[in-house]
Homo-oligomer: A and B are copies of this chain.
């Protein structure tokens, strides 16, 4: 078992979002030999996958520098889907196969070319043949990796309109306020 004071110091450094000075550490852990604890941790961690490092007066844990290649650190960062894209994806999932005109008529606004491209690139939708009507428009459907990503076994797992209504997801904002007031009335 590690010395209790040393444990406290390492927990504080681990949970902190920024590097800390010994004085900042002391504000959390109270009186004790912070400098000594830092040296102990530094020594214990040497040669491990993550180490304690000092930058000026500030201390923090970081992954061992020689292992950085395992992390592939070009932090492009995950990007959230745009509102238009997620709505388009939802419409395709609920109505597939759907043409661009179907999607536009359900969303009530035009969609730009790039929106479907993003979904194609993410691998969540695929072209699903042409519809045999004038103009033979292309239809779109979801892919197995769509199901995979959203943790669904099949499209039938998507909540139906009644479920959405019961979960409060079909209410425009004004209705949501009204129903909050209503449920307060219900409780008496």
Chain A interface (Cβ < 8 Å from any Cβ of B): 1-2, 6-12, 14-15, 28-29, 47-50, 61, 63-64, 67, 70-73, 100, 111-114, 116-117, 120, 126-130, 138, 143, 151-154, 156-160, 163, 166-169, 171, 179-180, 183, 186
Contacts and interface: CB of A to CB of B under 8 A. Distances in A.
Contacts of A152: 127
B159 A127 contact: yes
B117 A169 contact: yes
Nearest to A116: B167
A130 B113 contact: no
27 contacts: A1-B47, A2-B47, A8-B49, A8-B70, A10-B48, A11-B67, A11-B70, A12-B49, A14-B49, A14-B50, A15-B50, A28-B72, A29-B70, A112-B186, A114-B167, A114-B183, A116-B166, A117-B168, A120-B167, A126-B151, A127-B163, A129-B156, A130-B156, A130-B157, A138-B157, A138-B159, A138-B163
A168 to B, nearest CB: 4
A117 B170 CA distance: 11
B63 A11 contact: yes
Contact of A49 (B11, B179, B183): B11
